[in-house]
Chains A and B, each alone.
Chain A
Amino acid sequence: MGVRELINRLFVGEWGVHPDDHKRPAADQPVRVMPVPARLYLPLQQHLGGPARPVVLVGQRVRKGELIADAQGMVSAPIHAPTSGTISAVTEITAPHPSGLTLPAIILDADGADEWCELQGCDDPFALTAAEIGKRVAAAGVVGLGGAAFPSAVKLTGAARAKVTTLVMNGGECEPYLSCDDRLMRDQAAGIVDGIRIMLHATGAQVALVGIEDNKPEAIAAMQAAAAGVDTIQVRPVPARYPMGSEKQLIQVLTGTEVPADGRPADIGVIVHNVGTALAVRAAVREGKPLISRLVTVNGNCAANPGNIEVRLGTLAEDVIAFAGGLKGDGLGLARRVMGGPMMGMQIPHWRVPVVKGTSGILAFDAAEAAEQEPDPCIRCGSCVKACPMGLLPLEMSSRIRNDALPDAVDLGLKDCIACGCCAYVCPSKIPLVQYFVHAKGELASQDRAKLRTDATKKLAQQRQTRLEREAREKAQAAAKRKAEREAAAAAKAAAEKPATTT
């Protein structure tokens, strides 16, 4: 154990794992810009929250940057045309999701002109109010580019309301294999610093702490140089350890305070944004440019030419891999396709899946990397307990879930699990621990939905009952009224006839 590692353990604690990072040589390759493919597939849901609502018609011509689907609901993000062309369909395509299910998407045939629509920039973002910046960021469809894809404007405007004091910029990039944030920090440090200043202005935070793992010395140097004159931005190297880029862990290491369970960072006066998001915010506010492309790492033992590629959103992974240099041996050794990082990304069923706003990597793993193995019984070694960054007991929780005792697992802190996968990574018996937790959380969510549904059904049944009673009452009243009228008419008739007969 080196001295640095010893100091890390003393100050940071013992959670987390140290996987081989596999970041080089991909991280050292210059960024390649991929030309626009002939056809782009733009899912309506590329973010957390409500899906976007299409605002274009099939056959309509759109220019680059034009709005094609608008945000819907409080937490949502709009989608813009990544190039100029014609909308050829709005249909279902395979989602970048482990289920392999479909989701609705807009399909855009590029015309090759790549012609921008009019953009409305702003020369002095610091003259704008926080709300105006939030509006511009929301209109540009910017979402968190670290992977979770939470709409950034919601976080920025929420931070101003929650009196946030510290902006934590996440340059951790703790997932192995990925290097897109590393590359951005090396190549566009000045732009990121400008974006951070705009975010500081919008959130009202006094200081920005940029956390970068110490396995990226070039990025640290570049960011420190770019932030040299700005005293509100501090670049802080943090120990390279997975999951350092998880917001709760990064906050704890950088500020020394812990985010409460069931709480959000804003509760302790902090918000976290990814460094790539800072760049997107800058483009949105200064130039009025919507989010239409992103940097994607192509990596894995099967990738012939690993590296970082700037890709238009909606490009199929298939096309990205072909541009990057294809797969070794025509993909014969391919064992697993992953979108995102190897720890928290998702396995996809085939390559015909589009790059979306949250896609940080496209990984082609061979059998050795995929390391599929039948699980053995738990030997109660406790490795997972040591590795868990949230201080949970993965072995105990998984045994509860295996026996369908979900409430017991919740009592053990299932809801605090961040699904980082450290437990499954260290397990010597190769038990798929994190899969149990993801399954259990999904099951709990579906139970909650079922509960809501039952309540709604009961309400509907009650409403029907009251309606039937009301209808019966009205019917009876109407019948009584008709009867009364009939009798009145008969009486009047009788009264009219009576004098006639008597006289």
Chain B
Amino acid sequence: MIAAILSLTLLGAALGIVLGVANKFLAVEGNPVVDELIAMMPGSNCGQCGFPGCSGAANAIVDGTAPPTCCPPGGKTLAAAIAAKLGLTVDLSAMSDDGPKIAVVAEELCIGCCRCSKVCPTDAIIGAAKQIHNVFREACTGCSSCIEKCPTEALVMKPVPVTLQHWVMPKPLAA
């Protein structure tokens, strides 16, 4: 009995050390560009790009199978940033330039069906069955996954309001 326990423990420890060393010295580095893109992306894994999460989209963009404009929540800013990073030229004019948007619940239309809160990738929608739902402005990434789930069209995308805290002086027109 003791011999069995001892030998298995030793075997496990030895193999563990071998694996640990191998992990350190034989590590296969991921594409660092993909990691950088993942860091730039919204990270809510909303799936609107058609890839499994943000890492899937980042891989596809680096492979060239997806355009840099494929991320709706990231919008024009993200597309421009990705294009600059990868040295691509990209037609941004096709993308809408209304700035970031977030979902807003029209309270008179909400029936409290809870369908939207189930799909929200960041749990930004609060509400219980048959209670009016609401969206946390700070948590909403504007992925609009919830919009098509709403049976009463109570959810609409609205531009994020500009406040004194967020206002940025416009860039002067070039001479």
Q: Which residues of A contact B (CB under 8 A)?
A: 45, 95, 97-99, 101, 103, 374-378, 401-402, 429, 431-432, 435-436, 438-439, 442-443, 445-446, 449, 453-454, 456-458, 460-461, 463-464, 467
Contacts and interface: CB of A to CB of B under 8 A. Distances in A.
24 contacts: A95-B164, A97-B167, A98-B169, A101-B162, A101-B167, A375-B175, A377-B175, A401-B171, A429-B175, A431-B175, A432-B172, A435-B172, A439-B171, A439-B172, A442-B169, A446-B166, A456-B139, A458-B44, A460-B122, A460-B123, A460-B139, A461-B44, A464-B121, A464-B122
Nearest to B139: A460
Contacts of B43: 454, 457-458, 461
A457 B122 contact: yes
Contacts, number: 74
Interface in B9-45: 39-45
Nearest to B121: A461
Contacts of A463: 123
Nearest to A375: B175
B122 A439 contact: no
Contacts of B174: 402
Q: For the complex, would chain A's binding face be called helix, strand, loop or mixed by DSSP majority?
A: helix
B170 interface: yes
B168 interface: yes
Q: For the complex, would chain B's binding face be called helix, strand, loop or mixed by DSSP majority?
A: loop
Contacts of A99: 162, 164, 167
A445 B165 CA distance: 10
Contacts of B108: none
Nearest to A376: B175
Interface residues of B, number: 26
Contacts of B121: 461, 464
Interface of B: 39-45, 121-124, 138-139, 141, 162-164, 166-172, 174-175
B119 to A, nearest CB: 11
Contacts of B175: 374-378, 429, 431
B55 to A, nearest CB: 11
Contacts of B45: 461
B147 to A, nearest CB: 18
Given A101-B163, A461-B122, A464-B122, A439 B169 contact: yes
A233 B144 CA distance: 63
Given A101-B162, A457-B122, A461-B45, A439 B168 contact: yes
B42 A454 contact: yes
A116 to B, nearest CB: 32
Contacts of B123: 460, 463-464, 467
Which of A445, A453, A460 counts the most chain B CB atoms within 10 A?
A460
B122 A442 contact: no
A456 B169 contact: no
Contacts of A376: 175
B168 A446 contact: yes
A442 B138 contact: no
A435 B162 contact: no
A127 B174 CA distance: 60
Nearest to A102: B164
B139 A457 contact: yes
Top 4 nearest A-B pairs (CB, nearest first) are A442-B168, A458-B43, A375-B175, A460-B122
Given A449-B166, A454-B43, A461-B43, 5 more contacts: A439-B168, A442-B168, A442-B169, A454-B39, A457-B141
B121 to A, nearest CB: 6
